[in-house]
A and B are shown apart, each in its own frame.
Chain A
């Protein structure tokens, strides 16, 4: 466990991809089986155990420490796992509990506890019942040092987040031998932790493991954002366009096993098998091959907003009720394999024809084609993008966040190759608002006031007043963060724990230009609206607070949005007028 903890610790601080790779390969090279295999499983999210809740950790710490000292410590550190790891009163330490007179020193009659290996931890977790879990975790915490405890908590709460993707971990394994990462990817889903056969193969000691998976994941092709200056260089006639759906990118793969039984899988963009979350969609995969598309929620033929989709994603248990309420839908836009035939080297326009034929054969309403957006000049496409409903997006316009522009002759390439696929997102909405509160951030930003609540003007009982409309904590550079932090500290008028209220009014206050993707009506917010993805797009040091926007600006955006969602009603209203 200590080696693994040291690796995670080091990875967490390392920003460079190549240095991360070096740390990973060094670890895999010098750590024996099965320990390294479990580490690989932990980093690729392949471990199956019921995770511990943060509440379990908090409970264990609270039993052992003075609550006041714990509170002060948590406030200072800003991260529960780290506070718990650091404050844990291991045997032999001066206790932090009030009543104790210090734990007995480690000596002959009191040997140091056994430090668990990662393998022991994972094997034990797989078989430990929920009621035994706290005692086990406490034993391990006693035996490990600060870094070890931190890694243990991150592991068992499934919050590793050390900036290593599954792909990077697999690439590191591939680098132990002279093997392309994609080769590891192709056999990956036939492998199981602790991957002894995989390590044997990459180290040249064993045969290449069988894929074993008749429906494997193939790396996704990704796009680049389209910038204004690109249009001069790109010839419109060489491109095709589709809507960019505001959903989740998925790959659906299907085949049959050696026993002839069908195998159907759904993968995330990064190759994570998410089939279990979408049994309703898996059922519809009546084909052989691999297709690429967007997960959406479709009710009565209408695509729902991302907010609705999130409600399904947020649930852990997939119940029949959840499926009925949030029916999953796959809107497809590419085909990688048909049966055993690899179509990825074909031009996009040809793949599209094969895809259209396949979707027609599947004939399931849960899987449909993402329509093409007809255009002959970039101006036409810009008009379509600004108003999807005008070019046939109909009731689905709300779930469109722009256009995908794809070179008609592009092959399907793994990763983000240059010059083939572009995303052209809808411009965000902008509003000028006034900073009202600053809150301390978490983790890396725990000593900065980095989360800002902002408001716009409205008519109140005593004249114009500011009403909070949202909170943003990104969009600014580190340098701007330092200035905003300083601003909050220098203009504080009130303190509420980690929150500071700053000066604001007609003649004072800081204006923030806030960009956001959409608005929703909300009963939880005083202003009645909730913003989607708000971020600070500019700090208007120059603009007087009195000139910030009024709530009516947001009301108008909201009304416009509702028209897009209910365009038929709107048309009916117009007809009545005319």
Chain B
């Protein structure tokens, strides 16, 4: 008899937990044994006793937190089944960022897939998503509203290049998440034939070097020297989203504020951030791809971890798929997570 899905995976304050294998997936607090889907800081935290992840994700965690980010680490080769406690686990590409993987957990003939964050769109910097048929599919819903349909990324990058051509005396400052998005934008610019140096904010440097060392060609990417900022007319500069509005970016010649994010689809979101050139480039699935992926897994049950859960649960229900929102806290993305501390301190002022 097949096991119930909750025997394989349940929700705990630390995050999703597998009782039969005694491990957590992407826990938000330190645990004994963690399986990590990808290197973004809201999924990959330091301080676990042991971590199982893909080789790239382990290296990314070491770049971010130092080599001693966990007591012990184990590499999960893509596509290979591993025994953990009383379950079998298998890592499969998720197409989100370099090293990102979905984790299939199987026991007693029931398979649960934790997809982490994933996208179906083409990305020159990571392996494409592979559909893993399963009984229970655990999905994010960052862009889980039908207003989110990500356009062709090439057209978005051409928008940036057209603007650089039209305003050659201004610097174009592109806000992009330091892991994945930044390197994807660079790779897309190269694919469109842009061969001038792409300047980087210091916070981008180490992860970009790591991508290059993994054999992803990104061209010349010098770090911005503070005293040289005023000379970067006509340049493309990539920085973390939080830097596009601060003093750092104002020293450039008449900067054009750009932001590469799926949120840029909605005008009000772009204007709130003072963005002048929104680039709708996302490392998450858009609405159509979320729906398509759920269908293709053939799952009879869907759990929605975070994002716009309600709309996706509604869609599943009206399409005869059982679904429930997990309302999981601690997972944000694409710059949203970075803003949280600032918002917290301000509450004190107003009160």
Q: Which residues of A contact B (CB under 8 A)?
A: 6, 10, 12-15, 19, 22-23, 26, 65-66, 68-69, 72-73, 76-79, 82-83, 86-87, 89, 93-94, 96, 98, 145-146, 443-448, 482-484, 486-487, 490
Contacts and interface: CB of A to CB of B under 8 A. Distances in A.
Given A66-B318, A87-B147, 10 more contacts: A6-B159, A69-B314, A69-B315, A78-B268, A86-B148, A86-B266, A94-B287, A444-B272, A486-B347, A486-B350
B147 A79 contact: no
A447 B271 CA distance: 11
A26 to B, nearest CB: 6
A76 B349 CA distance: 27
A297 B191 CA distance: 64
B272 A96 contact: no
B17 to A, nearest CB: 30
B338 interface: no
Contacts of B146: 65, 69, 73, 86-87, 89, 96
A89 B147 CA distance: 10
B310 A72 contact: yes
A68 B146 CA distance: 11
B271 A444 contact: yes
Contacts of A77: 147, 266, 268
B346 interface: yes
Contacts of A487: 350-351
10 contacts: A12-B267, A22-B166, A22-B167, A66-B315, A69-B146, A83-B147, A89-B146, A446-B268, A483-B349, A487-B350
Given A22-B166, A65-B146, A146-B151, A79 B276 contact: no
Contact of B268 (A14, A72, A79): A79
B346 A483 contact: yes
Contacts of A96: 146, 287, 315
Contacts, number: 103
A325 B175 CA distance: 57
Given A13-B278, A19-B167, A82 B310 contact: no
B275 interface: yes
Contacts of A69: 145-146, 311, 314-315
Interface of B: 145-149, 151, 159, 163, 166-167, 265-272, 275-278, 287-288, 291-292, 308, 310-311, 314-315, 318-319, 346-347, 349-351
B310 A26 contact: no
A490 B347 contact: yes
B189 to A, nearest CB: 19
A65 B318 CA distance: 13
Contacts of A23: 166
B339 to A, nearest CB: 12
B346 A73 contact: no
B233 to A, nearest CB: 15
Contacts of B276: 13-15
B166 A73 contact: no
Interface of B is mostly: helix
Contacts of B292: 94
A76 B307 CA distance: 13
Nearest to A489: B347
Contact of A82 (B266, B277, B318, B351): B266
B168 to A, nearest CB: 11
B145 A72 contact: yes
Contacts of A15: 276
Query: Which residue, of B145, B166, B276, B310, has the highest number of chain A Cβ atoms within 10 A?
Result: B145
A72 B147 CA distance: 10
Given A23-B166, A69-B314, A490 B268 contact: no
A73 B288 contact: no
B166 A482 contact: no
Contacts of B314: 66, 68-69, 72
A70 B152 CA distance: 24
Contact of B147 (A13, A73, A444): A73
A82 B275 CA distance: 17
Contact of A443 (B159, B267, B315, B350): B267
Contacts of B148: 86
Contacts of A14: 276
Contact of B166 (A12, A26, A72): A26
- Pairs of residues from A and B, 5 with the lowest C-beta to C-beta distance, nearest first: A86-B147, A94-B288, A486-B350, A96-B146, A98-B318
A142 to B, nearest CB: 14
A88 B3 CA distance: 41
B331 to A, nearest CB: 19
A410 to B, nearest CB: 36
Nearest to A70: B146
Contacts of B167: 19, 22
B316 to A, nearest CB: 11
Contacts of B272: 444-445, 447-448
B268 A86 contact: no
A73 B314 CA distance: 13
A249 B32 CA distance: 75
B231 to A, nearest CB: 21
B350 A82 contact: no
Contacts of A444: 267-268, 271-272
Contacts of A484: 350
Given A13-B270, A93-B288, A444-B268, A73 B145 contact: yes
Given A14-B276, A69-B311, A487-B350, A146 B149 contact: yes
Given A68-B314, A69-B311, A98-B318, A76 B147 contact: yes
